[in-house]
Chains A and B, each alone.
Chain A
Amino acid sequence: MELRIFYDELQEGEWFKGLTREMSAASLEPTGAKNENLRNVERFLRYDRPDIILLVDGQPKVVVEKTSEVPTGHNVGQRFARIANAVEEKVMFVYFFPFKAMKHGTYANVCYVNARLFEAFKKMEEIHGVPVLAINWPSDANHELIRNGSQDTEIRQLVVDLIQNRFDYTKLNTVENIRQKTNIEYEERVKKTPLYSKPPPSVEITKTTRYIDYLGGRFGTKLDMPNYILQRDETLVYRFNMTPKNCRREDPYTGTQFIYDYIWCRNGPSPTDKYRNLVLTAPLVSKKRWLEANPNDPARKSSLYYATADFIVLQDGILFPGDAIKPQAQSTLI
Protein backbone atom coordinates (compact mmCIF):
# COMPACT_ATOMS: atom_id res chain seq x y z
CA MET A 1 0.00 0.00 0.00
CA GLU A 2 1.58 3.29 -1.10
CA LEU A 3 0.85 6.19 1.26
CA ARG A 4 1.46 9.78 0.22
CA ILE A 5 0.87 12.60 2.68
CA PHE A 6 0.28 16.03 1.15
CA TYR A 7 0.58 18.80 3.70
CA ASP A 8 -0.14 22.51 3.83
CA GLU A 9 2.47 23.12 6.55
CA LEU A 10 5.48 20.92 7.13
CA GLN A 11 5.04 20.56 10.90
CA GLU A 12 1.49 19.32 10.36
CA GLY A 13 2.70 16.82 7.78
CA GLU A 14 5.34 15.55 10.18
CA TRP A 15 2.80 15.34 12.97
CA PHE A 16 0.49 13.21 10.84
CA LYS A 17 3.27 10.97 9.60
CA GLY A 18 4.55 10.55 13.15
CA LEU A 19 1.17 9.44 14.52
CA THR A 20 1.89 5.77 13.95
CA ARG A 21 4.68 3.54 12.70
CA GLU A 22 2.30 2.17 10.06
CA MET A 23 2.76 5.57 8.43
CA SER A 24 6.56 5.59 8.57
CA ALA A 25 7.00 4.59 4.93
CA ALA A 26 4.63 7.32 3.75
CA SER A 27 6.06 10.06 1.58
CA LEU A 28 5.70 13.63 2.77
CA GLU A 29 4.99 16.15 0.03
CA PRO A 30 3.91 19.78 0.12
CA THR A 31 0.58 20.67 -1.39
CA GLY A 32 1.39 23.00 -4.25
CA ALA A 33 -0.31 26.20 -5.27
CA LYS A 34 -3.67 25.89 -7.00
CA ASN A 35 -3.51 24.15 -10.38
CA GLU A 36 -0.03 22.77 -9.63
CA ASN A 37 -0.98 19.44 -8.12
CA LEU A 38 -2.01 15.92 -9.02
CA ARG A 39 -5.67 15.78 -9.93
CA ASN A 40 -6.42 13.78 -6.78
CA VAL A 41 -4.91 16.54 -4.65
CA GLU A 42 -6.28 19.43 -6.66
CA ARG A 43 -9.82 18.16 -6.07
CA PHE A 44 -9.57 19.30 -2.44
CA LEU A 45 -8.35 22.81 -3.11
CA ARG A 46 -11.50 24.05 -4.80
CA TYR A 47 -12.62 26.12 -1.82
CA ASP A 48 -9.62 26.28 0.46
CA ARG A 49 -6.49 24.35 1.57
CA PRO A 50 -6.80 21.53 4.10
CA ASP A 51 -3.90 20.62 6.38
CA ILE A 52 -3.49 17.02 5.21
CA ILE A 53 -4.61 15.02 2.16
CA LEU A 54 -3.72 11.34 2.29
CA LEU A 55 -3.49 9.39 -0.95
CA VAL A 56 -3.47 5.60 -0.73
CA ASP A 57 -2.32 3.92 -3.91
CA GLY A 58 -3.03 7.19 -5.65
CA GLN A 59 -6.58 7.56 -4.35
CA PRO A 60 -7.63 10.15 -1.74
CA LYS A 61 -8.80 8.38 1.41
CA VAL A 62 -8.86 10.94 4.17
CA VAL A 63 -8.55 14.71 4.57
CA VAL A 64 -7.49 16.03 7.95
CA GLU A 65 -7.64 19.40 9.65
CA LYS A 66 -5.91 20.13 12.94
CA THR A 67 -6.29 23.25 15.04
CA SER A 68 -5.70 24.27 18.63
CA GLU A 69 -8.48 26.85 18.38
CA VAL A 70 -11.92 26.04 19.74
CA PRO A 71 -14.46 26.55 16.93
CA THR A 72 -16.58 29.17 18.60
CA GLY A 73 -17.52 32.79 17.94
CA HIS A 74 -15.92 33.92 14.71
CA ASN A 75 -13.75 30.80 14.49
CA VAL A 76 -16.61 28.38 14.04
CA GLY A 77 -16.88 28.53 10.29
CA GLN A 78 -13.32 29.39 9.45
CA ARG A 79 -12.34 25.93 8.24
CA PHE A 80 -15.72 24.71 7.15
CA ALA A 81 -15.41 25.24 3.40
CA ARG A 82 -12.52 22.76 3.18
CA ILE A 83 -14.70 20.20 4.96
CA ALA A 84 -17.51 20.82 2.48
CA ASN A 85 -15.05 20.38 -0.37
CA ALA A 86 -13.84 17.00 0.94
CA VAL A 87 -17.28 15.55 1.44
CA GLU A 88 -18.46 16.82 -1.93
CA GLU A 89 -15.58 14.73 -3.27
CA LYS A 90 -16.89 11.78 -1.26
CA VAL A 91 -13.82 11.57 0.94
CA MET A 92 -13.82 11.13 4.70
CA PHE A 93 -12.91 14.20 6.75
CA VAL A 94 -11.30 14.18 10.18
CA TYR A 95 -11.32 17.41 12.17
CA PHE A 96 -9.08 17.40 15.24
CA PHE A 97 -9.78 20.36 17.51
CA PRO A 98 -10.54 21.19 21.18
CA PHE A 99 -14.19 20.86 22.19
CA LYS A 100 -13.31 23.25 24.99
CA ALA A 101 -10.25 25.19 26.13
CA MET A 102 -9.19 28.19 28.14
CA LYS A 103 -8.97 31.47 26.29
CA HIS A 104 -6.41 33.83 27.79
CA GLY A 105 -5.99 37.56 28.03
CA THR A 106 -8.33 40.34 29.11
CA TYR A 107 -11.40 38.27 28.34
CA ALA A 108 -10.05 35.02 29.77
CA ASN A 109 -12.66 32.32 29.98
CA VAL A 110 -13.36 28.72 29.04
CA CYS A 111 -14.53 28.51 25.42
CA TYR A 112 -16.81 25.71 24.23
CA VAL A 113 -17.39 24.48 20.72
CA ASN A 114 -20.43 25.88 18.93
CA ALA A 115 -22.81 22.92 18.73
CA ARG A 116 -24.08 23.97 15.30
CA LEU A 117 -20.84 22.61 13.92
CA PHE A 118 -21.77 19.08 15.01
CA GLU A 119 -25.24 19.45 13.57
CA ALA A 120 -23.75 20.48 10.24
CA PHE A 121 -21.42 17.46 10.33
CA LYS A 122 -24.36 15.17 10.86
CA LYS A 123 -26.18 16.66 7.88
CA MET A 124 -23.06 16.39 5.75
CA GLU A 125 -22.76 12.70 6.57
CA GLU A 126 -26.43 12.13 5.68
CA ILE A 127 -26.13 14.01 2.40
CA HIS A 128 -22.77 12.81 1.14
CA GLY A 129 -22.57 9.39 2.80
CA VAL A 130 -19.00 9.79 4.05
CA PRO A 131 -17.81 10.21 7.63
CA VAL A 132 -17.16 13.69 8.98
CA LEU A 133 -15.48 13.01 12.29
CA ALA A 134 -14.77 15.48 15.06
CA ILE A 135 -12.02 14.33 17.40
CA ASN A 136 -11.49 16.22 20.62
CA TRP A 137 -8.09 17.70 21.47
CA PRO A 138 -8.44 17.16 25.20
CA SER A 139 -7.64 19.66 27.93
CA ASP A 140 -6.63 19.23 31.57
CA ALA A 141 -8.43 20.20 34.78
CA ASN A 142 -7.44 23.83 34.19
CA HIS A 143 -8.86 23.68 30.67
CA GLU A 144 -5.38 24.02 29.20
CA LEU A 145 -4.80 21.92 26.10
CA ILE A 146 -2.85 18.74 26.72
CA ARG A 147 0.35 18.80 24.69
CA ASN A 148 2.34 15.87 26.05
CA GLY A 149 1.58 13.57 23.12
CA SER A 150 -1.39 11.85 24.77
CA GLN A 151 -3.73 14.29 23.03
CA ASP A 152 -3.19 12.30 19.84
CA THR A 153 -4.36 8.96 21.26
CA GLU A 154 -7.77 8.92 19.61
CA ILE A 155 -6.73 10.15 16.18
CA ARG A 156 -3.75 7.79 16.27
CA GLN A 157 -6.08 4.85 16.93
CA LEU A 158 -8.30 5.90 14.06
CA VAL A 159 -5.37 6.13 11.65
CA VAL A 160 -4.01 2.74 12.74
CA ASP A 161 -7.43 1.13 12.30
CA LEU A 162 -7.92 2.75 8.92
CA ILE A 163 -4.57 1.48 7.66
CA GLN A 164 -5.15 -2.01 9.03
CA ASN A 165 -8.56 -2.14 7.32
CA ARG A 166 -7.26 -0.67 4.08
CA PHE A 167 -9.34 2.44 4.70
CA ASP A 168 -12.66 0.61 4.68
CA TYR A 169 -14.20 2.76 7.42
CA THR A 170 -17.51 0.93 7.26
CA LYS A 171 -15.96 -1.89 9.30
CA LEU A 172 -14.55 0.26 12.07
CA ASN A 173 -15.92 0.55 15.58
CA THR A 174 -13.55 3.45 16.07
CA VAL A 175 -15.61 5.58 13.69
CA GLU A 176 -18.84 4.81 15.53
CA ASN A 177 -17.21 5.49 18.90
CA ILE A 178 -16.05 8.89 17.70
CA ARG A 179 -19.56 9.69 16.45
CA GLN A 180 -21.05 8.70 19.79
CA LYS A 181 -18.69 10.99 21.66
CA THR A 182 -19.60 13.83 19.31
CA ASN A 183 -23.30 13.19 19.89
CA ILE A 184 -22.81 13.32 23.64
CA GLU A 185 -20.91 16.58 23.32
CA TYR A 186 -23.62 17.98 21.05
CA GLU A 187 -26.38 17.08 23.53
CA GLU A 188 -24.44 18.62 26.37
CA ARG A 189 -23.71 21.85 24.49
CA VAL A 190 -27.33 22.28 23.39
CA LYS A 191 -28.54 21.57 26.91
CA LYS A 192 -26.27 24.28 28.27
CA THR A 193 -26.88 26.71 25.40
CA PRO A 194 -30.32 25.92 23.90
CA LEU A 195 -29.87 28.76 21.39
CA TYR A 196 -27.46 26.51 19.51
CA SER A 197 -30.38 24.38 18.34
CA LYS A 198 -31.85 27.40 16.54
CA PRO A 199 -30.52 29.84 13.94
CA PRO A 200 -28.39 32.68 15.35
CA PRO A 201 -29.56 36.33 15.40
CA SER A 202 -27.75 37.03 12.11
CA VAL A 203 -30.04 34.53 10.36
CA GLU A 204 -33.70 34.92 9.49
CA ILE A 205 -35.90 32.32 7.84
CA THR A 206 -38.80 33.85 5.95
CA LYS A 207 -41.39 33.00 3.29
CA THR A 208 -39.84 33.32 -0.17
CA THR A 209 -42.78 35.22 -1.66
CA ARG A 210 -42.72 37.70 1.18
CA TYR A 211 -38.97 38.20 0.86
CA ILE A 212 -39.05 38.66 -2.91
CA ASP A 213 -41.87 41.17 -2.53
CA TYR A 214 -39.84 43.00 0.07
CA LEU A 215 -36.83 43.14 -2.25
CA GLY A 216 -39.00 44.38 -5.12
CA GLY A 217 -40.31 47.16 -2.90
CA ARG A 218 -36.85 48.01 -1.64
CA PHE A 219 -35.34 48.31 -5.09
CA GLY A 220 -38.48 49.79 -6.70
CA THR A 221 -38.81 47.19 -9.44
CA LYS A 222 -40.43 43.84 -10.09
CA LEU A 223 -37.73 41.23 -9.76
CA ASP A 224 -37.30 38.63 -12.45
CA MET A 225 -36.34 35.72 -10.21
CA PRO A 226 -35.47 32.26 -11.54
CA ASN A 227 -38.13 29.62 -11.01
CA TYR A 228 -36.03 27.46 -8.72
CA ILE A 229 -35.86 30.37 -6.25
CA LEU A 230 -39.61 30.97 -6.36
CA GLN A 231 -40.42 27.29 -6.03
CA ARG A 232 -38.72 27.01 -2.67
CA ASP A 233 -41.22 27.95 -0.02
CA GLU A 234 -38.74 29.49 2.37
CA THR A 235 -35.59 31.56 2.24
CA LEU A 236 -32.79 31.79 4.79
CA VAL A 237 -31.21 35.23 4.91
CA TYR A 238 -27.77 35.48 6.48
CA ARG A 239 -26.92 39.09 7.28
CA PHE A 240 -23.38 40.52 7.41
CA ASN A 241 -22.88 43.71 9.34
CA MET A 242 -20.11 44.85 7.03
CA THR A 243 -19.43 48.45 6.10
CA PRO A 244 -17.99 49.58 2.76
CA LYS A 245 -14.68 50.14 4.55
CA ASN A 246 -14.38 46.72 6.18
CA CYS A 247 -16.14 44.53 3.61
CA ARG A 248 -13.00 43.05 2.13
CA ARG A 249 -12.99 39.96 4.28
CA GLU A 250 -13.91 36.33 4.02
CA ASP A 251 -13.70 34.85 7.50
CA PRO A 252 -15.90 33.90 9.17
CA TYR A 253 -18.70 34.50 6.68
CA THR A 254 -17.65 32.29 3.78
CA GLY A 255 -17.27 29.22 5.97
CA THR A 256 -20.26 29.95 8.17
CA GLN A 257 -22.60 30.17 5.17
CA PHE A 258 -21.79 26.49 4.51
CA ILE A 259 -22.76 25.59 8.07
CA TYR A 260 -26.11 27.29 7.69
CA ASP A 261 -26.53 25.83 4.23
CA TYR A 262 -26.08 22.28 5.47
CA ILE A 263 -28.19 22.67 8.60
CA TRP A 264 -31.12 24.61 7.20
CA CYS A 265 -31.05 24.59 3.38
CA ARG A 266 -29.41 21.60 1.73
CA ASN A 267 -30.99 18.31 0.78
CA GLY A 268 -28.53 16.97 -1.79
CA PRO A 269 -24.86 16.74 -2.67
CA SER A 270 -24.70 19.72 -5.04
CA PRO A 271 -24.89 23.28 -3.71
CA THR A 272 -27.94 23.71 -5.95
CA ASP A 273 -29.75 20.90 -4.08
CA LYS A 274 -31.65 22.98 -1.59
CA TYR A 275 -35.16 22.91 -0.15
CA ARG A 276 -34.74 26.46 1.17
CA ASN A 277 -33.00 29.37 -0.57
CA LEU A 278 -29.78 30.64 0.93
CA VAL A 279 -29.32 34.38 0.62
CA LEU A 280 -26.42 36.46 1.87
CA THR A 281 -26.95 40.14 2.55
CA ALA A 282 -24.63 43.04 3.27
CA PRO A 283 -27.13 45.90 3.25
CA LEU A 284 -24.60 48.67 3.83
CA VAL A 285 -22.36 47.77 0.90
CA SER A 286 -22.96 48.76 -2.72
CA LYS A 287 -22.61 46.25 -5.57
CA LYS A 288 -19.64 48.13 -6.98
CA ARG A 289 -17.81 48.15 -3.67
CA TRP A 290 -18.69 44.51 -3.00
CA LEU A 291 -17.34 43.38 -6.35
CA GLU A 292 -14.14 45.36 -5.87
CA ALA A 293 -13.62 43.81 -2.47
CA ASN A 294 -14.95 40.32 -3.01
CA PRO A 295 -14.72 39.28 -6.65
CA ASN A 296 -15.58 35.81 -7.84
CA ASP A 297 -11.91 35.19 -8.55
CA PRO A 298 -10.94 31.52 -8.13
CA ALA A 299 -7.50 32.62 -6.93
CA ARG A 300 -9.11 34.37 -3.96
CA LYS A 301 -11.04 33.03 -1.04
CA SER A 302 -13.74 35.62 -1.77
CA SER A 303 -14.90 33.30 -4.58
CA LEU A 304 -16.53 31.25 -1.80
CA TYR A 305 -19.22 33.91 -1.50
CA TYR A 306 -20.47 32.55 -4.80
CA ALA A 307 -20.01 28.85 -4.05
CA THR A 308 -23.31 27.92 -2.43
CA ALA A 309 -25.55 30.94 -1.79
CA ASP A 310 -28.34 31.51 -4.29
CA PHE A 311 -27.76 35.24 -4.44
CA ILE A 312 -26.36 38.19 -2.53
CA VAL A 313 -28.42 41.22 -1.61
CA LEU A 314 -26.49 44.47 -1.42
CA GLN A 315 -27.34 48.09 -0.74
CA ASP A 316 -28.32 48.88 -4.33
CA GLY A 317 -29.13 45.55 -5.91
CA ILE A 318 -28.77 41.83 -6.17
CA LEU A 319 -25.91 39.69 -7.39
CA PHE A 320 -26.21 36.17 -8.68
CA PRO A 321 -23.04 34.07 -8.67
CA GLY A 322 -22.66 34.33 -12.45
CA ASP A 323 -22.78 38.13 -12.29
CA ALA A 324 -19.64 38.40 -10.25
CA ILE A 325 -17.09 36.50 -12.26
CA LYS A 326 -15.04 39.62 -12.99
CA PRO A 327 -14.57 42.57 -10.65
CA GLN A 328 -15.94 45.03 -13.20
CA ALA A 329 -18.99 42.89 -13.97
CA GLN A 330 -22.34 44.58 -13.51
CA SER A 331 -25.50 42.75 -12.61
CA THR A 332 -28.18 43.06 -15.22
CA LEU A 333 -30.99 42.09 -12.90
CA ILE A 334 -31.57 45.48 -11.40
Chain B
Amino acid sequence: MLSEPEIYLRMKGWLREKKWKILGGEPPGGTNDIPIIEIKTSHYHGKGSYGSKKIDLVGYKEGYFIFLELKTKYSRYDIEKLNTITSESVWRRAFIRALNEKLVLERANIILPYETSSYVSSSNFFIKGVGFNYTGKLGEKDYVTFIPSGSTMKPIIGPAVKREARELVEG
Protein backbone atom coordinates (compact mmCIF):
# COMPACT_ATOMS: atom_id res chain seq x y z
CA MET B 1 0.00 0.00 0.00
CA LEU B 2 1.39 3.40 -0.98
CA SER B 3 1.63 6.24 1.50
CA GLU B 4 -0.19 9.51 0.87
CA PRO B 5 2.99 11.37 -0.20
CA GLU B 6 3.78 8.57 -2.65
CA ILE B 7 0.31 8.76 -4.16
CA TYR B 8 0.62 12.53 -4.34
CA LEU B 9 3.95 12.38 -6.19
CA ARG B 10 2.74 9.68 -8.58
CA MET B 11 -0.35 11.71 -9.33
CA LYS B 12 1.78 14.73 -10.15
CA GLY B 13 3.86 12.51 -12.41
CA TRP B 14 0.73 11.24 -14.18
CA LEU B 15 -0.55 14.78 -14.76
CA ARG B 16 2.76 15.87 -16.27
CA GLU B 17 3.03 12.78 -18.42
CA LYS B 18 -0.47 13.37 -19.79
CA LYS B 19 0.30 17.04 -20.52
CA TRP B 20 -1.88 18.55 -17.83
CA LYS B 21 -0.57 21.77 -16.34
CA ILE B 22 -0.31 21.52 -12.57
CA LEU B 23 -1.70 24.78 -11.23
CA GLY B 24 -1.49 24.21 -7.52
CA GLY B 25 -2.31 22.04 -4.60
CA GLU B 26 -1.29 21.12 -1.16
CA PRO B 27 1.00 18.19 -0.36
CA PRO B 28 0.05 15.94 2.55
CA GLY B 29 2.81 17.60 4.55
CA GLY B 30 5.77 19.88 4.08
CA THR B 31 6.44 22.32 1.28
CA ASN B 32 6.00 21.88 -2.43
CA ASP B 33 7.01 23.71 -5.58
CA ILE B 34 3.43 24.61 -6.51
CA PRO B 35 1.16 27.23 -4.96
CA ILE B 36 -1.52 26.33 -2.45
CA ILE B 37 -4.88 27.32 -3.87
CA GLU B 38 -7.04 28.22 -0.94
CA ILE B 39 -10.69 28.71 -1.81
CA LYS B 40 -12.66 31.03 0.41
CA THR B 41 -16.25 31.99 -0.30
CA SER B 42 -17.52 35.50 0.25
CA HIS B 43 -19.48 34.15 3.26
CA TYR B 44 -16.17 33.71 4.97
CA HIS B 45 -14.47 36.79 6.37
CA GLY B 46 -12.23 35.37 9.08
CA LYS B 47 -8.49 35.27 9.27
CA GLY B 48 -6.42 32.18 8.58
CA SER B 49 -7.53 28.96 6.91
CA TYR B 50 -10.64 28.21 8.96
CA GLY B 51 -13.66 27.79 6.70
CA SER B 52 -11.66 27.62 3.51
CA LYS B 53 -11.13 24.65 1.22
CA LYS B 54 -7.89 23.46 -0.30
CA ILE B 55 -7.65 20.88 -3.04
CA ASP B 56 -4.78 18.39 -3.03
CA LEU B 57 -3.98 18.90 -6.72
CA VAL B 58 -5.46 21.11 -9.42
CA GLY B 59 -4.62 20.42 -13.05
CA TYR B 60 -5.60 22.20 -16.25
CA LYS B 61 -5.89 21.10 -19.85
CA GLU B 62 -7.69 22.61 -22.83
CA GLY B 63 -10.18 24.68 -20.89
CA TYR B 64 -10.90 22.05 -18.23
CA PHE B 65 -9.81 21.87 -14.62
CA ILE B 66 -9.29 18.60 -12.83
CA PHE B 67 -9.65 18.61 -9.03
CA LEU B 68 -7.93 15.74 -7.27
CA GLU B 69 -8.22 14.61 -3.70
CA LEU B 70 -5.68 11.99 -2.67
CA LYS B 71 -5.58 9.65 0.29
CA THR B 72 -4.29 6.20 1.10
CA LYS B 73 -7.85 4.86 0.95
CA TYR B 74 -11.33 5.87 -0.17
CA SER B 75 -12.65 8.89 1.72
CA ARG B 76 -16.28 9.92 1.70
CA TYR B 77 -15.25 13.32 3.00
CA ASP B 78 -13.16 13.96 -0.12
CA ILE B 79 -16.10 13.10 -2.38
CA GLU B 80 -18.38 15.47 -0.50
CA LYS B 81 -15.77 18.22 -0.59
CA LEU B 82 -15.32 18.05 -4.36
CA ASN B 83 -19.07 17.74 -4.90
CA THR B 84 -19.56 20.96 -2.95
CA ILE B 85 -16.82 22.89 -4.73
CA THR B 86 -17.93 21.88 -8.22
CA SER B 87 -21.70 21.94 -7.75
CA GLU B 88 -22.13 25.30 -6.04
CA SER B 89 -21.55 28.47 -8.03
CA VAL B 90 -20.35 30.32 -4.93
CA TRP B 91 -17.43 27.89 -4.61
CA ARG B 92 -16.70 27.88 -8.33
CA ARG B 93 -16.56 31.67 -8.23
CA ALA B 94 -14.29 31.48 -5.20
CA PHE B 95 -12.00 29.08 -7.07
CA ILE B 96 -11.66 31.45 -10.04
CA ARG B 97 -11.03 34.32 -7.62
CA ALA B 98 -8.31 32.31 -5.87
CA LEU B 99 -6.62 31.66 -9.22
CA ASN B 100 -6.78 35.34 -10.09
CA GLU B 101 -5.44 36.48 -6.72
CA LYS B 102 -2.31 34.41 -7.13
CA LEU B 103 -2.04 35.11 -10.85
CA VAL B 104 -1.97 31.36 -11.34
CA LEU B 105 -3.31 31.31 -14.90
CA GLU B 106 -1.12 34.21 -15.99
CA ARG B 107 2.00 32.57 -14.63
CA ALA B 108 1.15 29.28 -16.33
CA ASN B 109 0.54 31.14 -19.64
CA ILE B 110 -3.07 30.03 -19.71
CA ILE B 111 -5.81 32.00 -21.39
CA LEU B 112 -9.14 30.39 -20.65
CA PRO B 113 -10.95 29.59 -23.91
CA TYR B 114 -14.35 30.39 -22.38
CA GLU B 115 -15.64 33.41 -20.51
CA THR B 116 -14.91 33.35 -16.79
CA SER B 117 -18.67 33.51 -16.20
CA SER B 118 -19.01 30.11 -17.87
CA TYR B 119 -16.84 28.56 -15.18
CA VAL B 120 -18.95 30.18 -12.49
CA SER B 121 -22.34 29.37 -13.94
CA SER B 122 -21.67 25.78 -14.92
CA SER B 123 -19.86 22.78 -13.51
CA ASN B 124 -19.15 21.46 -17.03
CA PHE B 125 -15.50 22.47 -17.03
CA PHE B 126 -14.56 20.76 -13.78
CA ILE B 127 -13.51 17.14 -13.59
CA LYS B 128 -13.63 15.48 -10.22
CA GLY B 129 -10.98 12.94 -9.35
CA VAL B 130 -9.91 10.93 -6.34
CA GLY B 131 -6.81 8.81 -5.90
CA PHE B 132 -6.15 6.06 -3.37
CA ASN B 133 -4.92 2.50 -2.96
CA TYR B 134 -7.46 0.13 -4.47
CA THR B 135 -9.47 -1.83 -1.94
CA GLY B 136 -12.50 -2.53 -4.10
CA LYS B 137 -14.13 0.89 -3.78
CA LEU B 138 -14.26 3.59 -6.46
CA GLY B 139 -15.39 7.20 -6.58
CA GLU B 140 -18.93 8.10 -7.60
CA LYS B 141 -20.17 7.64 -11.17
CA ASP B 142 -19.14 11.12 -12.22
CA TYR B 143 -15.62 10.74 -10.80
CA VAL B 144 -12.34 9.61 -12.23
CA THR B 145 -10.72 7.25 -9.71
CA PHE B 146 -6.96 6.93 -9.86
CA ILE B 147 -5.36 3.85 -8.42
CA PRO B 148 -1.65 3.01 -8.20
CA SER B 149 -0.49 0.83 -11.07
CA GLY B 150 3.18 0.01 -11.50
CA SER B 151 5.07 3.27 -11.14
CA THR B 152 2.14 5.47 -12.16
CA MET B 153 -1.58 5.94 -11.52
CA LYS B 154 -4.29 4.32 -13.58
CA PRO B 155 -7.51 6.26 -14.21
CA ILE B 156 -10.83 4.47 -13.93
CA ILE B 157 -13.42 6.72 -15.49
CA GLY B 158 -16.89 6.64 -13.99
CA PRO B 159 -19.82 6.05 -16.38
CA ALA B 160 -21.29 9.51 -15.73
CA VAL B 161 -18.10 11.41 -16.58
CA LYS B 162 -18.88 13.57 -19.64
CA ARG B 163 -17.40 12.70 -23.00
CA GLU B 164 -15.08 15.74 -23.28
CA ALA B 165 -13.70 15.08 -19.83
CA ARG B 166 -13.28 11.40 -20.59
CA GLU B 167 -11.31 12.23 -23.75
CA LEU B 168 -9.04 14.60 -21.87
CA VAL B 169 -8.30 12.04 -19.17
CA GLU B 170 -7.70 9.29 -21.71
CA GLY B 171 -5.64 11.54 -23.97
Tell me the A residues contacting B by CB distance below 8 Å.
Answer: 8-12, 14-15, 51, 66-68, 102, 104-108, 140, 142, 144-145, 147, 149, 151
B27 CB contacts on chain A under 8 angstroms:
9, 11
Q: List, in ascending order, chain B residues with CB within 8 A of A107's CB.
A: 47
Q: Are A12 and B3 in contact (CB under 8 A)?
A: no
Query: B33's contact among A15, A51, A105, A140, by CB below 8 Å, is which?
Result: A15
Residue of B nearest to A144 (CB): B103
Q: Say yes or no: A106 contacts B34, CB within 8 Å.
A: no
Say what secondary structure dominates the interface of chain A.
Answer: loop
Cβ B9 vs Cβ A8 within 8 A: no
The complex places the Cα of A202 from the Cα of B112 at a distance, in Å, of: 49
- Contact across chains for A147 and B33 when beta carbons are under 8 A apart: yes
- Cβ-neighbour of B5 out of A10, A51, A67, A144 (below 8 A): A10
Nearest-neighbour CB distance to chain B for A28, whole angstroms, equals 11
Q: A105-B38, A105-B40, A106-B47 are in contact. Are A11 and B32 (CB under 8 A)?
A: yes
Contact of B9 with A14 in the complex, beta carbons under 8 Å: yes
Q: Are B31 and A147 in contact (CB under 8 A)?
A: no
Chain B interface mostly:
loop
Interface residues of B (CB under 8 A from A): 3, 5-6, 8-9, 27-36, 38, 40, 45-47, 98, 101-103, 107
Which of B3, B28, B30, B38 is the one whose CB lies under 8 Å from A51?
A: B30
Cβ B102 vs Cβ A104 within 8 A: yes
Q: Do A10 and B31 touch (CB < 8 A)?
A: no
Flag if A147 contacts B38 (CB, 8 Å). no
- Chain A residues with Cβ below 8 Å from B32 are 11, 68
- Residue among B5, B34, B101, B107 making CB contact with A104, cutoff 8 Å: B101
Q: Flag if A144 contacts B30 (CB, 8 Å).
A: no
List 7 tightest A-B contacts by C-beta distance, closest first: A9-B30, A10-B5, A9-B29, A12-B30, A104-B101, A66-B31, A67-B31
What residue in chain A is nearest B37 (Cβ atoms)?
Answer: A104
For B98, give the chain A residue with the smallest CB separation: A104
- A162–B30 alpha-carbon span in the complex (Å): 24
Q: B98 — which chain A residues lie within 8 A by C-beta?
A: 104
Residue of B nearest to A145 (CB): B35
A106: contacting residue among B8, B36, B45, CB under 8 A:
B45
For A106, the closest partner residue in chain B by CB is B45
Which A residues are in CB contact (< 8 Å) with B47?
105-107
CB-nearest residue of chain B relative to A7? B30
